Amino acid sequence: MSDKENKLDLWVTETHQDIVSLGFKVEDTLFSGASPYQQVDVVKTAGHGAMLLNDGIVMVSERDEFVYHEMIAHVPLFTHPNPKRVLIIGGGDGGTAREVLRHETVERAVMVEIDEMVVNACKKHIPSISHALEDPRLKLIVDDGVKYVDRCQETFDAVLIDSTDPIGPAQPLFDKTFYENVSRLLGEKGIMISQSESPFYDRQIQESMFSNQRPFFEKIHMYTFSTLTYPGGLWSFGFASRGLCPIKDFDPQRASASGIAMQYYNPEIHRAAFALPAFVSRGLSGLIDPVPL
Ligand code: SAM
């Protein structure tokens, strides 16, 4: 038998809500471990590069991670006029920190990830995403983001919630108390971005998270991006602010002149991402605010 015939046909399959599955062909397991919080796996896939899975749910793949990470970071950081201090909750793979630290204005970034195993596995096996975790402007804290924001006395220009789905330790990251604490940490022009799940599959989660945010923010919007690795192919972030508008206060000149080489984000995508499909804006009407496109 040739080597090719000998090779096992291995796939990782993520099942969402027990109704849909998404599979990726795997060539090798790079890391596998059980932390106090979750099962952590890094695999080498046949077509999507290295991939991190927490509890069997795809977190990032090298092939399309730039979309998620550019969109979580650059939309708020090119809306805020002068972002200097950024707090990241979760984000243990380091991709969000990498994009935040590409902004010259950012003097200090704090990242609070609950699971050291995720950080160490990504540092060792996915350096293309995790390399910024070594940047001296980044303070990495291994702690529960919920407890951290409750105690924290610092002020931030942007808080980016790069969390898993609302299960296990990530569940309280979608609660009222957490959002209240985040709003307390934001300066006058502060912006909070939150991972807000699938517009197709997760309407109930979105309704709950946006109504939990409403008492603490003047403006609440949602924007979308495409993804290869999350079910449904269309995903979203919530944009909540003390008053800044992601369209009126966005400075396309600053984005174009930044010199940051992007693979997905550009000024046109920034604006267009806030144009929501009719079923989404209708479904979330009253929970999110319209944007002046
Ligand atoms: N882009 C990803 C997605 O949407 O699937 C999220 C990536 S990042 C790896 C998510 C991280 O949030 C995980 O590593 C998880 O350990 C972390 N996390 C979950 N709950 C947390 C909490 N309460 N405090 C801090 N980090 C938390």
pLDDT digits (tens, 9 = 90+) for 262-291: 999 999 999 999 999 999 999 999 999 999
Tens digit of pLDDT for each residue in 19-33?
Answer: 999 999 999 999 999
Tens digit of pLDDT for each residue in 198-247?
Answer: 999 999 999 999 999 999 999 999 999 999 999 999 999 999 999 999 99
251 is catalytic: no
How confident is the model at residue 42, as a pLDDT?
98
Distance (angstroms) between ligand 1 centre and the Cα of 142 equals 12
CATH number of 9-61: 2.30.140.10
What percentage of the chain carries pLDDT values higher than 90?
97
Distant-in-sequence, close-in-space partners of 101: CB < 8 Å, separation ≥ 6: 109, 132, 135, 137, 138
Give me the mean pLDDT over the 55-74 stretch.
Answer: 98
Domain 65-283 belongs to what architecture?
Answer: 3-Layer(aba) Sandwich (3.40)
pLDDT band for position 293 (cuts 50, 70, 90): confident
Give me the mean pLDDT over the 60-82 stretch.
Answer: 98
Give me the mean pLDDT over the 165-194 stretch.
Answer: 97
The residues spanned by each domain of the chain are 9-61, 65-283
Mean pLDDT of the chain: 96
Q: Which of 225, 220, 196, 192 is nearest to 80 (CA)?
A: 192
The single-letter DSSP state of residue 290 is -
Q: Specify the ligand 1 atom closest to the Cα of 119.
A: 14
How confident is the model at residue 1, as a pLDDT?
45
Q: Specify the ligand 1 atom closest to the Cα of 148.
A: 24
pLDDT band for position 3 (cuts 50, 70, 90): low
How confident is the model at residue 249, as a pLDDT?
98
How confident is the model at residue 4, as a pLDDT?
56
Distance CA 250, CA 267 (A): 9
Beta bridge partners of 261: none
The answer, yes or no, to whether residue 5 has pLDDT greater than 80, is: no
Residue type, 74: H
Q: Which of 67, 89, 39 is nearest to 226 (CA)?
A: 67
Q: Which of 236, 247, 194, 195 is nearest to 216 (CA)?
A: 194
How confident is the model at residue 21, as a pLDDT?
95
CB-based burial label for 283 (10 Å; 0-12, 13-18, 19+): middle
How confident is the model at residue 6, as a pLDDT?
64
Q: Which is the catalytic residue, given 64, 93, 144, 162?
A: 162
How confident is the model at residue 216, as a pLDDT?
98
Question: What are 36-45's contacts with CB under 8 Å, separation 24+?
Answer: 36/115, 37/114, 37/115, 37/168, 37/169, 38/115, 38/168, 38/169, 40/115, 40/117, 40/118, 40/121, 41/12, 42/121, 42/122, 42/125, 42/126, 43/12, 45/12
Give me the mean pLDDT over the 128-154 stretch.
Answer: 97
Mutate to test the pocket of ligand 1, among 58, 114, 123, 133 (most ligand atoms within 8 A of CB): 114
How confident is the model at residue 189, as a pLDDT?
97
Give me the mean pLDDT over the 128-145 stretch.
Answer: 97
pTM, full prediction: 0.97
- Measured by CA distance, the residue closest to atom 20 of ligand 1 is 170
Mutate to test the pocket of ligand 1, among 113, 126, 150, 151 (most ligand atoms within 8 A of CB): 113
How confident is the model at residue 7, as a pLDDT?
73
Distance (angstroms) between ligand 1 centre and the Cα of 145 equals 9
The answer, yes or no, to whether residue 98 has pLDDT greater than 50, is: yes
User: What strands, in cross-sheet order, belong to the sheet with 85-90?
Assistant: 138-142, 108-113, 85-90, 156-162, 186-195, 234-241, 219-226
